[in-house]
Chain A
Amino acid sequence: MDIKPIVELQNLTKVIGKKKIIDDVSLSLYPGQITGFLGPNGAGKTTTIRMMVGLMKRTSGEILIDGKPLSENFEEGLSKVGVIVENPEMYKFMSGYKNLVHFARMQKNITKERIDEVVRQVGLEQRINEKVSTYSLGMRQRLGLAQALLHRPKFLILDEPTNGLDPAGIREFRQYLRVIAETEGVSVFVSSHMLSEIELMCDRIAVIQNGRLVDIRDMSETAQSHYYLELSPAETAQSLLTSKGYAVESLPVGLVLQAEKNQIPSVIQLLTANRIEVFAVQPHRKTLEDQFLEITGGGQIAEAHTK
């Protein structure tokens, strides 16, 4: 990718006691992109995020924000970052608006107009003057997001942002993230163990397991390179395609073929030449759950679902 990353993690490692919590994680995050940080509970998502914002010290490695090491430019680096770590902690006895004014006061060049703008963006105009103690969890999340966006960060980190939100709230939140990524070029980094949520929200996923980054991939990749074939007899077709070097996966009805789009005509020719009846060929998008199972070996998917 030619675009310069806004954040780079370089060989990030965290050791607590004798245990390696985060093991040599390297990752680049780009403007305008929503990256999902996926992993089962306890995989190291929150620890990585906390190291990225200086809440936890790293044992080794470096974090670059806009090309500069965070360790040497902490204040400048963090001035470009907005973050919500789990549930936002606000002053509950104050109104939402006073909370925002309070946070705005502590940062440079945040005008009253900017506060009003973020309040509108997160859809809290009607309730912004009420005390935070009266807010639902979803409203607190939105207020937290407003606070994180006040200073127009280039990089937004959200740790389990939809915890406690109802489906409508999750959808609204997702749409809002898409808007700020696309219109303001903000790089958004979202951690979650909710596969479906990440699938709908992100352009790219990074998967962490047992403290190690086990995969980074674009969400569009698999959609373009997998095709569903409805054919008969399937066993013969599978043997044939495998012998020709294609990766084929058997489904209860038909096969999933891993191939580029321009290979499809020759695949069809090959199959028909070998008297295999082809009824349908269509792009097959693997669900994130399928991909996650592949990447992690499936051992922890149950945990990711049940927690």
Chain B
Amino acid sequence: MNALIRKDLYTQKVSTYFLTALWFVIFTNFFTDGQPVRHVLLLIFLAYFIAISTSNKSIEKESVLINSLPVTRKQFVLAKYAAGFMWFGLTAAAVLVYIFLFDTFAPFPTRMMTIPELLIALGSFFIIISLFYPLQFKAGYVLATSLTIILPLLSMMSFRIILNIMENPRMVAEQKFFRQTAELVTVNQWTVALAVLLVSTLVTWLSILVSIRIVRKTDFDHA
């Protein structure tokens, strides 16, 4: 399984990392915003983007690899999920360096990510790839990507809507609600992080079972 994880790392195209860098622009509003929530979203979707980029060879095409290696279908699936930790770790390192530079040199207030924020990002990332992999194994890369790419777009839209509401003087009640929610989340960061991790663990476990079932039933008959 270790070999399969390393395979994903070593066969990643360099261009993928350049494309991934584009998310920095989008999620930091063209490098003008250092809000912590943006950093959490950046980390989640950066890791997601790299993870799915390694899967852009469909499982059918990867059958050559399955042919050449004495690996079981279960190991193949588990390696995909386990590689998630690798992608998240690499992305977290890049994002933390970026935030450090932002924090040090940018002319607006920001701060480094807290551990609960990192855990929330980790849990959320695994929830997304838990949706992606079963879809990919069952219906192919294009459909899985198309359906899950909606998530970063929706989150960005939601975030923008909330910002608009906060700037709208006629929406006092809504502003109060969001402020209270933000305070609640800030005060209970660890509780929220653990809740996200708990949900993520459950979803990932179910997703792995479903993926193994799908892949075990798959006949690679037209690689």
Contacts and interface: CB of A to CB of B under 8 A. Distances in A.
Q: Do the two chains belong together in a single complex?
A: yes
A146 B67 CA distance: 14
Interface string A10-28: 0000000000000000000
B67 A76 contact: no
Interface stretch (A86-94, A168-176, A191-199): A86-94
Interface in A187-239: none
B220 A56 contact: yes
Contacts, number: 68
A61 to B, nearest CB: 15
A55 B67 contact: yes
A55 B7 contact: no
Contact of A88 (B64, B219, B220): B64
Given A50-B219, A50-B220, A91-B11, A55 B69 contact: no
A106 B7 CA distance: 8
B72 A85 contact: no
Interface in B1-45: 3-4, 6-7, 10-11, 13
B221 A47 contact: yes
Nearest to B11: A91
Nearest to A150: B68
B214 interface: no
Contact of A102 (B10, B70, B71): B10
A17 B86 CA distance: 41
B198 to A, nearest CB: 34
Interface string A72-93: 0011111100110110111101
A93 B3 contact: no
Interface in B37-80: 61-72
A77 B219 contact: no
B68 A83 contact: yes
B11 A102 contact: yes
Given A74-B70, A77-B70, A106 B223 contact: no
Given A55-B221, A78-B71, A102-B11, 4 more contacts: A57-B217, A77-B70, A89-B64, A89-B223
Interface of A: 46-47, 50, 53-57, 74-79, 82-83, 85-86, 88-91, 93-94, 102-103, 105-107, 147-148
24 contacts: A55-B67, A55-B219, A55-B221, A55-B223, A56-B220, A57-B217, A57-B219, A74-B70, A74-B72, A75-B70, A75-B72, A77-B70, A83-B68, A85-B223, A93-B13, A102-B7, A102-B11, A103-B68, A105-B7, A106-B7, A106-B68, A107-B69, A147-B68, A148-B68
